[in-house]
Amino acid sequence: MKFSNVMVAGSGVLGSQIAYQTAYKGFQVTVYDINDEALDKAKERVEKLMTLYKQDFDLTDADVQQGYERMRFSANLSEAVQDADLVIEAVPEKLAIKKDFYTKLGEVAPDKTIFATNTSTLLPSQFAKETGRPEKFLALHFANDIRVKNTAEIMKHEGTDDHVFQALVEFAEAIGMVPLPIYKEQPGYILNSLLVPFLNAGQELLVNDIADAHTIDKTWMVATGSPAGPFAILDTVGIRTAYNISYAKGEAGDEAAQKVATFLKEEMIDKGKLGTESGEGFYKYPNPAYLEKDFLKA
Ligand code: NAD
């Protein structure tokens, strides 16, 4: 299975990054979104990304322009997908939108086209039927800021063909990602299966007055050699996102999560402490204490 033409569906935060990274690495990319207005926004996002690529990888204008020249933009689904070997889908995280999108895509895509979803919280099996080709469908999950945080979690559902799975592992590597094969469906993939309980454990230690945030981070950093502890990570994730996760669990009856959610709302969000994006969370930015050389000392 050889991929040359890739269609990226949905050109928002993640779709625009996936599209540019794929084009930058030499593939022909068609960006598909619902209308020209959305595509104009995508072009703006890509221009900003090109500046970041130049800065981060010490590239010239000509280097980043080459990637851009391999991209085209279309709001017409059947035209956008006509030559696609692979579709990477990054449409909004709503089951009804995904189902509707795959039903329409399945009707117009060539038989050869493989479909990969970037969903974060849904499972591929929830909309495999709508694709009309479950054996050629799986998850390819990126992290935000894919040019630097280059994980690609490749996850099968029960009906995914092994050759398709292997082809996606190879494709992920070809676009500069670290491929992380996942053999069975798992909510949260590998990363969030590890990270979410870890962050919850840290937050519960804090809201139960066991220790303060910086001491908890320091413990983790000294003992494991990690560059950051749970609260530094929470600042990067964003306190609003952390709150939404705990709030949802609290609503479902988890009392510990409810306590965390109340803390995040009253002590953080209401005080404008949203993490790195607002300049303050559990640390103050741009020079957070955990990066100071004395932080790990007594
Ligand atoms: P976003 O809201 O920034 O972008 C969604 C895009 O999809 C928009 O451009 C919108 O116009 C377009 N769209 C809406 N309906 C569509 C349709 N029917 N067909 C085609 N395009 C349509 O969303 P996002 O943050 O980029 O998330 C997209 C997907 O990526 C979600 O499944 C999400 O879980 C996943 N994801 C997001 C992140 C993240 O950090 N934002 C990280 C990993 C995975």
Residue that is written with structure tokens 């530094």 in the block: 232
Does residue 119 have its Cβ closer than 6 Å to ligand 1? yes
Pairing state between β 151-155 and 137-142: antiparallel
Atom of ligand 1 at shortest range from CA of 14: 26
| Residue 173 vs residues 21, 63, 113, 152, 193: alpha-carbon distances, Å | 12, 20, 19, 9, 23
Token pair listed for 112: 């050869």
Token pair listed for 62: 């000509």
Q: What is the DSSP letter of 138?
A: E
- Distance CA(91)–CA(180), nearest Å, equals 22
What's this model's pTM, rounded to 2 decimal places? Answer: 0.92
Token pair listed for 55: 């800065």
Q: What's the pLDDT score for residue 192?
A: 94
pLDDT at position 89 over 90: yes
When pLDDT is averaged across residues 111-139 and rounded to a whole number, the result is: 97
Who has greater pLDDT, 10 or 277? 10
Does residue 38 have its Cβ closer than 6 Å to ligand 1? yes
Does residue 9 have its Cβ closer than 6 Å to ligand 1? yes
Q: How far is the CA of 298 from the centre of ligand 1 (A)?
A: 45
Does residue 88 have its Cβ closer than 6 Å to ligand 1? no
Choose one of 14, 142, 189 to mutate for the ligand 1 pocket test, by most ligand atoms within 8 angstroms of C-beta.
14
- The answer to whether the CB of 252 falls within 8 A of the CB of 216 is no
Domains of the chain: 5-182 (3.40.50.720), 193-291 (1.10.1040.10)
Run of H or E residues at 232: helix 230-237
Q: What b/e readout covers 141-153, taking b as 16+ CB neighbours within 10 angstroms?
A: bbbeebeeebbbb
pLDDT category, 298, cuts 50, 70, 90?
confident
Angle (CA) 63-64-70 rounded to 5° is 100
The contacts found for 261-265 with CB under 8 angstroms, 24 or more apart, are 263/203, 263/206, 263/207, 264/203, 264/239
pLDDT at position 230 over 90: yes
Q: What's the pLDDT score for residue 2?
A: 86
Q: What is the DSSP letter of 2?
A: -
Q: What's the pLDDT score for residue 1?
A: 83
Q: For residue 145, give the 3-state DSSP assignment.
A: coil
Choose one of 36, 103, 118, 130 to mutate for the ligand 1 pocket test, by most ligand atoms within 8 angstroms of C-beta.
118
- The answer to whether the CB of 100 falls within 8 A of the CB of 134 is no
Tell me the per-residue pLDDT of 94-112, one tens digit each, with 9 for 90 and over.
Answer: 999 999 999 999 999 999 9
**Average predicted confidence (pLDDT) for the chain:** 97
- Distance CA(80)–CA(115), nearest Å, equals 14
Q: How far is the CA of 33 from the centre of ligand 1 (A)?
A: 10
When pLDDT is averaged across residues 84-101 and rounded to a whole number, the result is: 97
Q: What's the pLDDT score for residue 281?
A: 98
Q: What's the pLDDT score for residue 234?
A: 97
- The answer to whether the CB of 233 falls within 8 A of the CB of 195 is yes
Tell me the per-residue pLDDT of 182-208, one tens digit each, with 9 for 90 and over.
Answer: 999 999 999 999 999 999 999 999 999
Q: How far is the CA of 263 from the centre of ligand 1 (A)?
A: 29
What residues have CB less than 8 Å from 197, skipping those under 6 apart?
Answer: none
